Amino acid sequence: MNELEKLTEQIIKFRNERDWQQFHNSKDVAISLVLEASELMEHFQWKSANEVAAYVEENKEAISEELADIFYWVLLLSHDLGVDIKSAFLAKMEKNSNKYPVDKSKGTHKKYNELHND
């Protein structure tokens, strides 16, 4: 069992002990992901890049928790939908490598389709 599978197993064990699977329909879990991502984003609102740096230093723990919450829901939802998140991630990295070849995309932030329309 790889590490992500082990962390996922920990989440499912936690859920089963509390008999909470009955509440976790995928639509509401997807809503949780948006809500947690919004909470994370809120930390950066109304701040310049410099202010963000100082703020993050002072609020490292709160921000770590938000990231952990998102990570948690990604693993849980992947499990419930039968998605192997590690494989999905590696497939996406492979796809991105093909979409953004180094020689065409270095130092530029153009989108894939623009790059290929050059």
Residues within the interface to a second copy (CB under 8 A):
2-4, 7, 10-11, 14, 17-20, 22-23, 25-28, 30-38, 40-47, 49, 52, 56, 60, 63-65, 67-72, 74, 77-78, 81-83, 85-86, 88-89, 91-93, 95-97, 100, 102, 105-107, 109
Which two three-digit tokens encode residue 115?
């790059």
- By beta-carbon proximity to a second copy, the closer residue of 107 and 117 is 107
User: CB 49 → a second copy: shortest distance, Å?
Assistant: 5
User: CB 16 → a second copy: shortest distance, Å?
Assistant: 10
- By beta-carbon proximity to a second copy, the closer residue of 42 and 114 is 42
Which two three-digit tokens encode residue 82?
């039968």
Q: How far apart are CA 55 and CA 45, in angstroms?
A: 11
- By beta-carbon proximity to a second copy, the closer residue of 49 and 117 is 49
Residue-level length of the chain: 118
Residues 6+ apart with CB under 8 A from 1: 9
- By beta-carbon proximity to a second copy, the closer residue of 110 and 117 is 110
User: CB 110 → a second copy: shortest distance, Å?
Assistant: 11
Q: How far is CA 76 from CA 18, 48, 51, 84, in A?
A: 15, 34, 34, 11
Q: How far apart are CA 12 and CA 21, in angstroms?
A: 9
Residue the block writes with tokens 């494989």 = 87
